[in-house]
Amino acid sequence: MPRAKDEPKTVAVTNQGATNNLLTTIVMVSENPYLVFSGSKSQYLTEQICKSLGCSMGRMTTQHFADGEFAVSYEESIRGRDVFLVQSTFPSADNLMELLLMIDAAKRASAHYITAVVPYFGWARQDRKDKPRVSIGAKLIADLLSTAGITRLITMDLHADQIQGFFDVPVDHLYASSVFMDYIEKTMPLDNLVVATPDVGGTKRASSYARHLGVPMVICHKTRLRANEVAEMRIIGDVEGKDVLLVDDIVDTAGTITKSADLMLKNGAKSVRAMASHAVMSDPATERVNESGLSEMIFTDSIPYIKGSPKVKIISVANLIAESIKRVCSHESISSLYSF
C-alpha cells in the first residue's frame, strides 16, 4: 500500500570506524511518496492536479511512428514508487491504448503501486447485454486495465454504478456533484428550481440532486429509433413557471438534452439550464446547444472541450482529484468529499 504523504523514507548509511567496527546511522530523508504522470490528451487537467498537490508532473515521453503506432517511456526512475497515471479514455481509442502502455511500462519499471486516474471512463454505456449477440464494452475495458497491471482505479461519475463490480481492484468512484453543488447554490434561484432528468435512466441521479436541494423533480420519458436518435419525448411532472435544471452524466450529440430543454420551455418553463459531468460533445452537439433554448450548459473538465460555445461553462475537478490522491496515499476515507 502507498506510504502516507508525510512519512519519510528511511535510508541506512554504514560508515567504517577506526576500530574496524561497523557503525550504522539511520538518516531520515523526506521524499514525496507519489509521482503523477499524464497521458497526451489529459495534460491540461494533470497540470492543475499537480498544482493543487504542490508537486511537479512526472516526466514521460510518447514516441509516435509513421504507421500510427506509439510507445511510452518514463524519463525518471519510478522503482518502488507509487504512481498515478491520469488519462481519460474518450475517443479516439488511442487514449485508452496510451493508458494501457503507461500502465505496462510502470509495471515493468518496478513501480510499487499503480493507480489509473480516469476522470472519464469510456465505453461505460456498454454495461450489459441489452439484446442478443452484443459485447459488454465496460467489462472488457475493466479487464484490459486490470491485466495491464493497475492496483487501483480513481474515476468519476460512471454511466452505471455497477461497473465498479467489473474490477477486482479497489475503485474510488468520485461524483461531480461535489463541485456542481457549490455552483448551483451560488448562481441558481433555489426557491423556484426544479431538477429534471432527460431520460428515465438518470432518475436516481436527479433524485439525489432534488433531495439534497429540497426541490421537486420531473422526468423526461423518451423512446429511441436507434442510438443517438430520439423518436418521442414527454414530461412527467409540472414545469410551468419554473427554473429547470437538467442533470446528466454524459452529453454526446446533445440531441436528448436539447430536445428536453425545448420541451420544458414549450410546457411553460421559465428557464432551462443543463449540467453534465462529461462533455463528449460529438458533432453536431455544439450547434445543437447554441440553437436550443438552453440558457447555460455546465460541464467538468474531465474531457477537454475545445470547440467553444457562449452557453458552455467549464468547472474544474482538479482539486477534487488531487484531494482524492492525497487521501489514497494517507489511507484516509474519501467519502467525506461527496456532497451526496
Would residue 282 count as lying in a domain? yes
List residues with catalytic annotation. Answer: 222
The answer to whether 243 and 235 have CB atoms below 8 angstroms apart is: no
Tell me: do 52 and 162 sit in the same domain.
Answer: yes
Residue whose entry in the numeric block shows the C-alpha cell 453534465: 276
pLDDT at 119: 98
What's the structural domain count of the chain?
2
C-alpha grid cell, residue 295: 440558457
Q: Is it true that the peptide bond before 92 is cis, omega within 30 degrees of 0?
A: yes
DSSP assignments along 222-286, one per residue: EEEEETTEEEEEEEES--TT-EEEEEEEEESSSHHHHHHHHHHHHTT-SEEEEEEEEE---TTHH
- Say what the pLDDT of residue 15 is: 39
Residues 257 and 292 reside in one and the same domain = yes
Q: Which domain holds residue 198?
A: 177-315
Give the start-end residues of each E strand in 49-202: 60-64, 70-74, 82-86, 113-118, 152-156, 171-174, 193-197
pLDDT number for residue 282: 94
Residues 114 and 107: their CA atoms lie apart, in Å, by 8
What does the alpha-carbon distance between residue 77 and residue 25 come to, in Å, rounded to a whole number?
A: 25
**Predicted pLDDT of residue 289:** 97
Q: What is the pTM of this model?
A: 0.87
What is the predicted pLDDT for the residue at 321? 98
Type of residue found at 286:
T
pLDDT at 229: 60
105 in a structural domain: yes
42 inside domain:
yes
pLDDT of residue 228: 54
**Judgement on whether residues 59 and 164 belong to the same structural domain of the protein:** yes
Answer yes or no: is 25 within a domain: no
CATH number at residue 186: 3.40.50.2020
Walking along the chain (340 residues) 10 residues at a time, the average pLDDT comes out as 43 39 38 88 97 96 94 96 96 93 98 98 92 94 97 96 95 94 91 93 92 94 64 86 96 94 96 97 96 97 93 97 96 83
| Cα–Cα distance for residue pair 301/277, rounded to 1 Å | 8
Is the distance from CB of 155 to CB of 138 less than 8 angstroms? no
Same-domain status, 276 and 228: yes
- H or E, element range at 132: none
Domain annotation covers residue 65 = yes
Cβ neighbors of 100 (< 8 A, separation 6 or more) are: 144, 145, 148
Three-class SS of residue 216?
coil
Report whether the peptide linkage leading into residue 284 is cis, meaning its omega lies within 30 degrees of zero. yes
Q: How far is 98 from 100, CA to CA, in rounded Å?
A: 5
DSSP string, 10-55: EEEEEEE-TTS-EEEEEEEE---SEEEEE-GGGHHHHHHHHHHHT-
User: How far is Cα 120 from Cα 142, in angstroms, rounded to an integer?
Assistant: 13
Residue 124 shares a structural domain with residue 92: yes
Residue 235 in any domain: the answer is yes
Q: Has residue 161 been placed in a domain?
A: yes
The reported pLDDT for the residue numbered 140 is 96
